[in-house]
Structure 1
Amino acid sequence: MFKKWLLALCVSGFALNVCAAPDGSGSATANAPANANATAVASATGSEASVRKAILSLAPDATIASIQASPIPGFYQVITDGQLVYVSADGKFLLNGDLIDVARKKNISNDGWASFRKAELAKVPASDRIVFAPANPRYRVTVFTDVNCAYCRALHEHVAEFNKAGIALEYVAWPRDGVTNPAGRNTETYNEMVSVWCASNRNAAFTAAKEGHMPKSATCANPVKQQFDLGVKLGITGTPTIIASDGTMLGGYITPEEMLRLLSKGS
């Protein structure tokens, strides 16, 4: 995976250099030839192909989720295997790190992640989530959770307070031990979460599991593996991870008061 390659490169002490490729496309005008747009599209397509080739040359098994234009002239923003990097249009250079707009004092990389998360989470149907919500929620957040982690359990202890504050918690599965162990067998946490998602009363089974009660073993067609894979794709590294409806990552364990403050600030 690309993430492993990137980590290995950083640990080895190699520096990732950046050099913007010259932009010779010029500015479009009202009197541009009729085929100017077609030329621009072809150029962009060629550049994206170079970017894709560059990523795969470093990590042949990488899964490239998104290639978008970047605010850095001559570079593209790429999301692959839970990592956001910038790659030059000619595929010669890769930049790993946050992009800061100095004038606005804003982390542009966070904006890129937020847009991507929002789009991907919109594909997860409500029927695949375990939802604890008030009648008319003011806010909805997605929570990547594990049934056994201490902070996940602490968060769920306050579910009534979150709901009272007008916040709906929409849980998706992210077993911290992964789906399978080194021997290729399903992890215990994965099996527990499948049992919860397959329970006749998901919410009750979920709460019971958070209280330390082993769920009754059950299997069915379920979204647990897909949700775990989605979390990896979105850069999730631990639980709980809370994401606002606009794709902004709010953090891990947060009190109802703090979450309401953060959501109010972003609205």
Structure 2
Amino acid sequence: MLKKLLLAACVSGFVLTACAAGNSAAATTLGSGVDASAVQVVQRALAKLAPGVQVDVVNRAPLPGFYQVIASGQLLYVSADGKYLMNGELVDLDAKKSVNDAAWAAFRKAELAKVPAAARIEYAPANPKYRITVFTDVTCPYCRVLHEHMAELNQAGIAVDYMAWPRSGVEDETGRPTETYKAMVSAWCATDPKAALDGAFAGREPKPASCVNPVQQEFDLGMRLGVNGTPAIFTASGRQIGGYLTPLQLLQALQKD
């Protein structure tokens, strides 16, 4: 579990500790004008800090001489010679906006689109105007507050797709499943997952259940998308807008998306 917790802060003081992603066999997405040799440069550079880092995306950066890289839940800039790494926001001063935001949104939108509907727990009105994906945890206080407003969200035309993200991780320090992970699995494997989730958010533990479930995969996906807390709210465009937001704040954010 410590290894996975380190993922959330794996670039700190220029140290990429234990940043290997759960799915190390995933293919790297290459941007225009980028070939396999660039991936090799990036992989060699990151290996100096943490061997085995999963590189998800390599694009040419707007900053000359650098690649823009998404790896293990972090967006980084690596020089074309593999000598330098930068971690932080790259701002387009003319446009007055972060260059990172668009890269993150494109990556997150593409990755979230791969998750089948059956792996999500959906709360939706008949004809939704908006759809959000929320990485959630039944033990998270702000997740519970958000869920209390579900009827209000649906009335505002907002569909909510829940994905599981146990904050305590999938395994504890001894390698055993965490209690939160087991609760999330029980909710996803329940005969009526929505009723089980409703009860869990109300403080009632789901009846123990097991099945082939997506909780581990959704936890790993959240790590790759940069999730480091719950609720983590993403719009259909892939933009992260929360953190907890009130229904009004959420609607206003979606109207601007």
TM over 0.5: yes
Counterpart in 2 of 1:142? 133
Counterpart in 1 of 2:169? 178
Counterpart in 2 of 1:163? 154
Change (3 A) 1:44 1:90: farther
Amino acid in the other structure paired with 1:207: D
Which string of whole-angstrom CA distances, capped at 9 and with x for unpartnered residues, describes residues 177-197 of structure 1? 000000110000000000000
TM-score with structure 2 setting the length: 0.88
Count of matched residue positions in the alignment of Structure 1 and Structure 2:
236
Counterpart in 2 of 1:6? 11
Q: Which has the higher helix share?
A: 1
In the TM superposition, what is the alpha-carbon distance from 1:170 to its structure 2 partner?
A: 0.4
Which string of whole-angstrom CA distances, capped at 9 and with x for unpartnered residues, describes residues 194-238 of structure 1? 000000000010000000001100000000000000000011000
Whether 1:133 and 2:124 are equivalent positions in the alignment is yes
Counterpart in 1 of 2:101? 110
1 CA distance for matches of 2:110 and 2:176? Answer: 32
2 CA distance for matches of 1:122 and 1:206? Answer: 23
Whether the 8 Å contact between 1:48 and 1:89 is mirrored in structure 2 is: no
Whether the 8 Å contact between 1:5 and 1:58 is mirrored in structure 2 is: no
Instruction: Percent identity, please.
Output: 52
Change (3 A) 1:236 1:84: same
Change (3 A) 1:64 1:48: closer
Whether the 8 Å contact between 1:244 and 1:250 is mirrored in structure 2 is: yes
Q: Could you list the runs of 5+ residues in structure 1 that have no partner in the other structure?
A: 11-39
Counterpart in 2 of 1:48? 39
Q: Which deviates the most, 257-266 or 158-167?
A: 257-266
2 CA distance for matches of 1:53 and 1:44? Answer: 15
Whether the 8 Å contact between 2:129 and 2:157 is mirrored in structure 1 is: yes
Which string of whole-angstrom CA distances, capped at 9 and with x for unpartnered residues, describes residues 132-171 of structure 1? 0000000000000000111000000000000000000100
Change (3 A) 1:185 1:60: same
Amino acid in the other structure paired with 2:244: Y
Amino acid in the other structure paired with 1:251: G
TM-score with structure 1 setting the length: 0.85
Map 1:1-267; keep pairs closer than 5 Å. 3=7, 6-9=11-14, 44-266=35-257
Counterpart in 2 of 1:14? none
Whether the 8 Å contact between 2:43 and 2:53 is mirrored in structure 1 is: no
Please list every run of at least 4 consecutive aligned residues from structure 1 whose deviation after the TM superposition is greater than 3 angstroms.
1-5
Amino acid in the other structure paired with 1:141: I
Give 1 or 2 for the bigger CA radius of gyration: 1
In the TM superposition, what is the alpha-carbon distance from 1:58 to its structure 2 partner?
A: 1.9
Q: CA RMSD in A?
A: 1.7
2 CA distance for matches of 1:206 and 1:142? Answer: 16
